[in-house]
Amino acid sequence: MAETVEVTVQRYNPETDSAPRLQTYEVPYKDDWVVLDAILYIKDHLDATLSYRWSCRMGICGSCGMNVDGHPKLTCSAHLREYRRGFTVEPLSNFPVIRDLVVDIDDFMAKLKSVKPWIVRELEQPLGDGEYLQSNNQIDHYRQFSQCINCMLCYAACPVYGMEPEFLGPAAIALARRYNLDSRDEGTVERVNVLAASEGIWECSFIGECSVACPKGVDPAKAIQQTKFDTVNGAIMSTVLMPFGNRR
Amino acid sequence: MEFPLYDVLIVGGGGAGLRAAIAAAETDPGLKILIVSKVYPMRSHTVSAEGGAAAALRPEDSWENHAFDTVKGSDYISDQFVVETFVREAPIELIQLEHWGCPWSRDPDGKISARPFGGMTTWRTCFAADKTGFHMLHTLFQTSLKYDRIERLDETFVTSLLVEDGRCVGIAAINQRSGVMSAVRAKTVILTTGGNGRIYAFSTNGNICTGDGMALAYRAGVPLKDMEMVQFHPTGLPSTGILITEAVRGEGGYLTNNKGERFLKDYVPSKMELGPRDIISRAEVTEFEKGNGFEGEYGNYMHLDVRHLGEETIDRKLPFMRELGLDYVGIDIVHDPIPVRPVEHYMMGGIDCDITGATSLPGLFTAGECANVGLNGANRLGSNSLSECLVFGAAAGRAAAHQAQEAKAPTSNPVDALLKDETRRVEKKYLESRQGTEKLAEIRVEMQRSMDEHVGVFRTAEGLKEEEKLIAGFRQRFARLKIEDRSHVFNTELTAALELDYMLELAEVMTASAINRKESRGAHARRDFPKRNDEHYLANQIATHVPGGKPKLEFRPVRITHWQPQARTY
């Protein structure tokens, strides 16, 4: 028989299970497979009742985040060859589980909206006058924070979010920062109020688990530290700190 | 669950759907708008678009040039009035998206930059590095959060359109979290559900691209148009079908065969790597047949080579491609050529609609890949589809909003009855039947593989007729489906079955349409009819659902305004 690998999956169906349980499957091993391929194999060949989310299988839609051996991963870019001896797949930590590997992320969706993740301006330039000019250097100020795919790995990794569910959390703060640092935006003051009122921001001790977990190179820990600094120093300081940002 | 009456209900939360929602909200801030998506909007497949969005923004460009390139690219079966409208609107839409925060890559003067793209005669593909779709989708989604009148039902799967007295009055849908089926009434409905690439085994499309909206409209009696026109992108990764953007060639990448030759010199000598997708995909397959491809575990492939561009350009313009190479092939594109082969990518065909997105069913509109407004004809040019989502998403949103302002509220009693029927249909067919023996995944995989084989880059009457028989067999087997998952909560086997039902319906239409177009035009290449035949087929093919029978097919002449058909050489 061809090589195989043991995959242990956390199962939970609220209609029939009183608590989550583990189930182990034997799946073919292929060197060029990712963890998601193993899960797809289970669904197609071994157990059609397994529920999980996935779509693009190229690390950009953000659907397939799960805990693999206890660490939050995008399963479409976690290579099977790194888990040759078998592994355990569980739903992302810190979220309510809906079923099997599917978690409830509505809390994030509400928090995202609360930080006003859109361009805020007093006056809109008419479309006929063309684009707002922006240099590639100015884009570099916010570029990394604009790479967030909302995959929720940072929330699963965040010890503060685990204890303090009111905490806005890494991705929402990083996205607030993305707009604060955008030369086209004038919303920093409005957002500072939301951020300052957020429970938990002061408990983030710059452990940086969020930045380690991020599969897209975003550094939410940096966004949180910068936000603390802004909040203390007020919006006036932000114009000094961000010479290209938030000019009126 | 009881829902209020919505003015505009949008099915699908990708580029076109979000743009439609915002347009409706801006047309009339008093309207109640609902986006129903089977995923969270930011998971929609717009997210995977890479290379860019086309618009004649630069002073050296003109809308006439963009229009002509598009018409020629379509092999002359685009609607030229639609194309003209599109190219005039596209620049405004890209500026609008810029105002909403899209991080377009810039020229040194701070203006939106552009790159060359296949079939475009000048630099007009605007881009946000090589994650243009991702940035557009998140910009649109985050901007949509600004409007309190735009509500959402996320992870809600639409099973049918509700039609009363010849008018679309809402949808029936399953809330995936609870399993409960509800009717949502609306004065107007816009279908923006994207493509159907998952009908094929080897596709760039995400798992969610199952043609739901096309099948919903078709079953409600709305015709589909040009369903034989399927785009195969020349550069997919051989194992997974993950898209390697055309921007790689736009930025100067070479396509080479196993002799190290840039083989496109024999096919599109004046454009080389910047030829249109249909011709380059055929060139690759032709080279494979001559023995000029590399041999690999997943069949033949070519090399896409960017080594001469240098690390700095690659990191600035194509960072995601470097990431994909490292993650999914184990190569660094700075030092290694990328293995690629043709891969199913885009559906030119779709729901027949007019320039405002209105369909033949009053109250029903459509936009984006699931629609066929007449822009792309027989072959879409790369980077026209993101702009299409914006231009025609906005148009449909405005038109639906205006109609909703005039329309009467649908009565609730017939809607309740329609919901009862639909709930009964889904439960009886999928959840209650215990007689089934057929496995969902087996039927799906067999459909996908046979579609790859018979309705691919090159087609023959023999292969297409074989596929027609196979699909009939798949549909019979589908009727004997066994659903193992009986749970109401997040039952993805049930939704996958509903999706397969949609895909089988569409596969039948695609195959029948391909048999019926006895010529080669754009992406539809018949080995038995290798020439374009303007005398008979300078026309769009309209497929109408016949309950219990084969699709009814007829040809409708195209609208020509300025550009008479010419030989399509590059």
- Residue ranges of the domains in chain B? 234-343, 414-557
Percent over 90 (pLDDT), chain B: 95
Q: Would you call B112 an interface residue with chain A, using a CB distance cutoff of 8 Å?
A: yes
pLDDT attached to residue A247: 40
Q: Which of A91, A68, A88, A77 is nearest to A5 (CA)?
A: A88
Mean pLDDT of chain B: 96
pLDDT attached to residue B24: 98
Chain B residue whose CA is closest to A12: B489
Q: What is the C-alpha separation between A60 and B529, in angstroms, rounded?
A: 40
Q: What is the C-alpha separation between B533 and B517, in angstroms, rounded?
A: 10
Q: What is the C-alpha separation between B158 and B328, in angstroms, rounded?
A: 33
- State which fold the B234-343 domain adopts: Flavocytochrome C3; Chain A, domain 1 (3.90.700)
pLDDT attached to residue B425: 92
Local confidence band at A203 (pLDDT 50, 70, 90 cut-offs): confident
* Alpha carbon distances (Å) from B118 to B202, B242, B523: 22, 19, 14
Compute the average pLDDT of residues B526-548: 97
A134: chain B residues, CB-CB within 8 Å: 106, 110
Probe site for chain A from B18, B328, B438 (most A CB atoms < 10 A): B328
Residue range A77-91, pLDDT digits in tens: 999 999 999 999 999
On whether the CB atoms of residues B416 and B183 are closer than 8 A, the answer is: yes
A80: chain B residues, CB-CB within 8 Å: none
On whether the CB atoms of residues B253 and B305 are closer than 8 A, the answer is: yes
Q: Would you call A247 an interface residue with chain B, using a CB distance cutoff of 8 Å?
A: no
Helix axes B492-516, B440-454, angle to 10 degrees: 20
- Joined tokens for residue B71: 């018409």
pLDDT attached to residue A1: 55
Q: Would you call B491 an interface residue with chain A, using a CB distance cutoff of 8 Å?
A: yes
Active-site residue list of B: 233, 249
User: Does position B475 have pLDDT exceeding 60, yes or no?
Assistant: yes
DSSP H or E stretch at residue B188? strand B181-191
pLDDT attached to residue A240: 46
The hierarchical CATH code for the domain B414-557 is 1.20.58.100
- Could you please report the per-residue DSSP string of A106-145? HHHHHHHHHT--S---SSPPPGGG-PPP--HHHHHHHGGG
Q: Which of B330, B320, B349, B45 is nearest to B204 (CA)?
A: B45
HSE (side-chain half, CA atoms, 13 Å) at B58: 20
User: Does position B527 have pLDDT exceeding 80, yes or no?
Assistant: yes
Largest CA distance in chain B: 70
B119 conformational bin, left if phi > 0, alpha if psi -120 to 50, beta if neither: left
Residue range A22-53, pLDDT digits in tens: 999 999 999 999 999 999 999 999 999 999 99
C-alpha radius of gyration, chain A, whole number: 21
Probe site for chain A from B40, B113, B126, B144 (most A CB atoms < 10 A): B40
pLDDT attached to residue B226: 98
Local confidence band at A243 (pLDDT 50, 70, 90 cut-offs): very low
Sequence-ordered list of residues with C-beta below 8 angstroms from that of B124, at least 6 positions apart, any chain:
B54, B55, B56, B57, B58, B61, B66, B114, B117, B383
Question: What does the buried/exposed string (b/e) look like for B310-337 if buried means 16 or more CB atoms within 10 Å of the residue's CB?
Answer: eeeebeebbebbbbbbebbbeeebbeeb
User: Does position A236 have pLDDT exceeding 80, yes or no?
Assistant: no
- Closest Cα in chain A, distance from residue B102 (Å): 9
Q: Where are the alpha helices (DSSP H) in B199-295?
A: 212-219, 247-250, 277-289
pLDDT attached to residue A230: 78
HSE (side-chain half, CA atoms, 13 Å) at B182: 18
Structural domains in chain A?
4-103 (3.10.20.30), 106-241 (1.10.1060.10)
pTM over 0.90: yes
